[in-house]
Structure formats: C-alpha cells, structure tokens
Structure 1
Amino acid sequence: MRRAVLTVLLLLGLAACSGPERPAPRPSPSTAPADVTPSDVLRDLERRHDARLGLLAVDTGTGTVVAHRPDERFAHASAGKLLLAGAVLERRGTVGLDERVRVPDETVPHSPVTESRTGRTLTWAEVLDAALRLSDNTAANLLAQDAGGPDAVTEVLRAWGDDVTRVDRLEPDVNTAVPGDERDTSTPRVLAGHVRALVLGDRLAEPARERLVGWMRASTTGTALVRAGVPSGWAVADRSGGAAYGSRHDLAVVWPPHGAPLVLAVMTSRRGQDDEGRDALVAQAAGVAVDALMARR
C-alpha cells in the first residue's frame, strides 16, 4: 500500500512540473495570393532599359501574383482614359450612349476622330470609341467633363474605394509626368484592381461592361505593348498610355486559350526625356509576368 501511494505521488509531481499541456501547433495558413515574382529578371530589364518599371499581374483563376514596384506612383497618362470611361459608363449605362454631345471648335493635340468633327456632334458611344480605341484626347476631355471634371472623377474613384489615384488635369496637361509630381498619378496595384473590376467584375452593368470590353479589344494603340508580349492568338483587351520622361503604360486583360484570364498593369518611367525602347520594355515585362503566371497553373 505504501509503495502504491508513493508511486501515485511521484506521478502527480512529475505532471505538475511539466506545466500545462501545450495545444498542438496549427498549420500556418497558406499565403494567398502566391507571389511568383521573377525579381532578378525584372530588375535586369530595368537596368538594360535604364528605366523604372512598375508591374502587377494576377492570374484570376489561381490568385498567383507577379509584382514589381506595385505601390510606386507613375503618371497614368492616357491609361487613365479607362477610368474616365468607367465613370461615364457607370452613370450613363448603355441607355444614354445614343445621346449626342457637341465637339469643341478647337481640339487638343492627338485627336484623330474629333479634329474632323469640330463644331459638330458625336454620340457618347462614338466619344467612348474614340477615347478607348484610338486614344483621342479631346474625346477624353469630353468624358471627363461629362463626369463633372477632374474633381468629380476623383470622387467617383474614392467611392470605388480608391484613395490613391489622382485625377487633377485634362489632356494634354496630364502628360507632363515630371518626376516627383504626384498630379495625375496612380500605382500598378490600384490600376490593376480597376481593370479587374471594370472588365471582369460587376462594377458596371453587363451591357456596359460588354461595350467597354469591345472597345478595349479593338484598341489600336497597344499593339507593341502587352499584345506583343503574349503568344499570338491570345485575346487581349487593353488601354495604353504614354507621356514624358519615358512614361509608357498598358492596362490589360489577357485571355489564354484555356483557364481564367490574367490582369496586368505595366508602367514605366525614366529620369530623362528619352523614350527609346519603352514599348519593348513593357512588352518584355508583360511576357516575363505571363510566363511566370502560366508556369504555376
């Protein structure tokens, strides 16, 4: 009996010394989205082109992300025409696109459609087509004015949850892109979010979204950009932009032959005014990002 009591006391003492039982460790949650950024390759592209490169690309099916300087500011230039179009389409839908608007008597530079229609009228559908497909600058100003001007466009963006993008001026002043000037700037991460919401999401009613995608797929200004960086035959809808100080951008949705679409925002800038090779930089960066995303499928 005494030996049994001693044994029990010994076991109780050992249990007390060992402290409370620790819960089994939980498995760490998976990181989502997964980052597969080929950083060395993208930094090498920056060195070779003597430029700053911003990129955010996401596979909407897997959530895999490629990111390089995704939160740095770049002048959005004509890529911002997508935001103007989204603001007008959200307000007007497709019902109001047959209404007509008068083209000013004087147009601004690079207005391939409106310069031949001064003093006459266009439908809002024609204005959107000119801005998105041909990057007509006077058409972009008409869109901004229909939305209420730059301040009102900014309010729309804030309502969309964007507290980063700035819309301060009209064309062609948005294209000065002076380094350090935050007017008319945004980031690749934020702009990629807008592309996804406008082209693939439910920010716009379906008829308006379909019209937007049609104009972006028919765009003629980005053939040397993301379209040149993906395999031939892949469908692309994009809105490009270009400004001073080596600014060249492309906001795009890419549909591979199989699987979910990819969303890309590629932006560049330089310290100097030289813009040589900037199209190639965007195309090459897009190709690197797409290859990295597709390799993870």
Structure 2
Amino acid sequence: MSSLSKLQQSASSLQEALMYGGDMTLLLETRPELFSEDSSEEKEKESAKRKRTQEILDYHHRTFKRKSTGAQEDAEVERQLIKYIEEVPDIYLEVAAQFEEERRKEREQPKESAKKRREKEILDYHRRKLESEDRTDDQEESRRELIKAIEERPDIYLEMLRQTKPGLTAKLLSEMGELSYVEVPEIYDTVEEVQNKIDAFLLDSLSTKTAFGKMIGCSVPSITNFLKQEQYDGTRLMNYKNKQVGASSKVYEKAYHFFEKIRLVVKQPKDDDRVRNEEYLGRWGKKGFPMKNDTGKGRLFIG
C-alpha cells in the first residue's frame, strides 16, 4: 500500500473516530479493518478463495447432475452428494479433499512397489552372480562379505552399485567404441538368449531401458516389445528348441551385435550355448540364425 493511500485511510479513520465521539477504542472494536494495512489485499485474497471454492462446488454439482441418470444406487448416492454441496459445502469440500489425498497416495503406491520389486530383482541377480562365479581361495572371503552385505544391508549394497556401475559401464562403452570397425554379420544367439542377455545387462549395470536403447540405437517401446515375446517351448529339429518369436525385430540384431562386442572387449570365450548354436547351424550349412519370426505354429526349416 502506498504512503498516500495510508494517509488517506488514516484521515478517513480519524473522521470516523470523530463520528464515534473520538473513541478510538470503540472504533477499533467495531471497524478493525480500517486499521489493517493489508486489509484490501486480504479482502481480495479472501474473495478469490471464495470464488475458487464456489467454482469447485459448481463443477462437482454439474458433474453429479449429469451422472444422476445412471443406475439407481449410483443415482441415489449422487443425489445425496448434491444435497451435501448445497446444504453443507464446507463439510463436502473437506471430505472431498481427504478423498483426493487418498487417491493420490494410491496412485503413487504402485510406483513405489515397482521400484522395490526392481531393487529386489537387482539384488537377487547380483547374489546369484556372486554364488556362481569361480573364485580363488583368496577371493572367497570377499565373496562371502558381499553376499552378507546383500542379505543384511541391501540399501548400502545398492548405493555402492549406483556409485560404481555407471563408471564401469562408461569405460566399457569407450572400449567398445574402439571396436567400431569390427563387423558382426551373423547372429549365433537365439531370441531367448538375447532376451536373457538384455535382462542380465540391465540388472548388472543398473542401466535403464532408455539408456540401453541409446547404446544400441533402438527405442524403448521396441525393446519392451522384444522382451515380451514369449518363446515356443516345443522340441524341434534334432531335439533342438528353435525359439525364434521376435527374430524380425531390429532389437534382436542390434542387441546381439552389442553383446558380441562386449565379449570381444573383455576377451570372454564363447559360452556353451554359442558353441552349440554354431554346431547346429553348421550342420544345416548356414551362418547365423535368420531374422525371421517363428511363431511356433509351424516349423521353421533352416536350409
């Protein structure tokens, strides 16, 4: 409020005080707003609040009016709500606010549950990995300590992973960049094996699908869709389970190339599945699996 306005208000207050016989105490008790510097601003805020409250009540009133033509039970509830809005709006607003807060908490709960499930998956994966690794006697004590940390202080173990894994992944990607000239034309992993490698990489590196998508040049929806492909579990040619639902996806090809380059960077030998696949395809005179869907409804003969 400007000095001029305050002066004018003071003059007005003085005039009213004279009208009250010069009794400023009486005037203060009967017209306190005249002595409040922010009375006009407070009035505006209060007016805006009342206006907004009325808008909310009117909106709910209209909504229930439109819906009250539904099922008999629902219509009765909606008529009762309309009555509350009209007769006890303050109570209605308070209950509505509480209801909305409960709904907000319910919406947030699945997100929290999903986060906890993901953390449990990460911890379970790292525990299985530690239990299956071959270690020397000197390393055995370290393995036991890490497993103990997962069991007793999972929060600290997760924090350790969050601090170390991004740096290790960045170093790995940098080394892979040096192998950009290496071509990996044939695919010797089945769709299921590539799916398992993607899941393991996400759990091991703590990478998100978004980050992984940038690494291989694929969108998150395409990765999600590829991982959802369920493989036919019937016995195929020569007792080989030919599970190739989703083989036409670009994720299949690009993810395989990505993991093959990782294998070359870390100088890891071919695993048993890879050797078996090469032998199987070699018997049919083929180099790599075809990028062609096998839905499991018919036979996919290679050759």
Say which structure, 1 or 2, has more relative contact order (CA 8 Å, 6+ apart).
Answer: 1
More helix by share: 2
TM bracket (short chain): under 0.3
| TM-score computed with the length of structure 1 as normaliser | 0.25
More strand by share: 1
| TM-score computed with the length of structure 2 as normaliser | 0.25
Bigger CA radius of gyration? 2
